[in-house]
């Protein structure tokens, strides 16, 4: 019995529980680089170099998502396309609803922490992202 209680305590302390949607929402903002796409449990595409990153800015459950092209000097070039995003917590999951004026869709946030973002769309494709920090790792250069 003591071992079971110890195991439960460890799981609770070290994150065996599901991602908290409120915490996920706090981690969405920023620059994200796609790394791979999965469908039906199989790898569909693995990305190497990306010329564009996704930028999220959501405040009070409303915001935008846009594609940006990072430059070597640390700046970004934006195109004119931008998606309106509404974040909602439904059934203990964080959902992102998108609207471009031409199309509407939603994604479910499976994971969102300081370094990784995982989204699932309505076609059950899973998109894996990692936090984008720039093309050049300045700490390694010093």
Gap between the Cα atoms of 95 and 90, Å rounded: 7
Which pairs with CB-CB distance under 8 Å and at least 24 residues apart come from 43-47? 44/125
**DSSP secondary structure of 37-64:** EEETTEEEEE--S-S-EEEEEEETTEEE
User: Can you tell me the distance from the alpha carbon of 104 to that of 14, in angstroms, rounded to the nearest whole number?
Assistant: 37
Q: What is the pLDDT along the chain (142 residues), one digit of tens a residue?
A: 544 443 444 444 444 445 799 999 999 999 999 999 999 999 999 998 889 999 999 999 999 999 999 998 889 999 888 999 999 999 999 999 999 989 999 999 999 999 999 999 999 999 999 999 887 654 433 3
119 burial via Cβ count (<10 Å: 0-12, 13-18, 19+): buried
């Amino acid at each position: 019995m003591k071992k079971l209680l110890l195991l439960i305590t460890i799981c609770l302390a070290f994150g065996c529980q599901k991602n908290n949607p409120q915490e996920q929402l706090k981690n969405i903002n920023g620059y994200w680089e796609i790394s791979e796409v999965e469908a039906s449990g199989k790898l569909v595409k693995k990305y190497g170099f990306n010329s564009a990153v996704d930028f999220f800015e959501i405040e009070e459950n409303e915001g935008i998502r846009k594609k940006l092209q990072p430059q070597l000097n640390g700046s970004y070039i934006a195109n004119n396309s931008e998606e309106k995003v509404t974040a909602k917590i439904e059934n203990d999951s964080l959902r992102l609803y998108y609207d471009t004026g031409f199309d509407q869709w939603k994604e479910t946030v499976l994971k969102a922490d300081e370094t990784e973002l995982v989204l699932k769309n309505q076609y059950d494709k899973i998109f894996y992202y990692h936090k984008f920090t720039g093309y050049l790792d300045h700490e390694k250069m010093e």
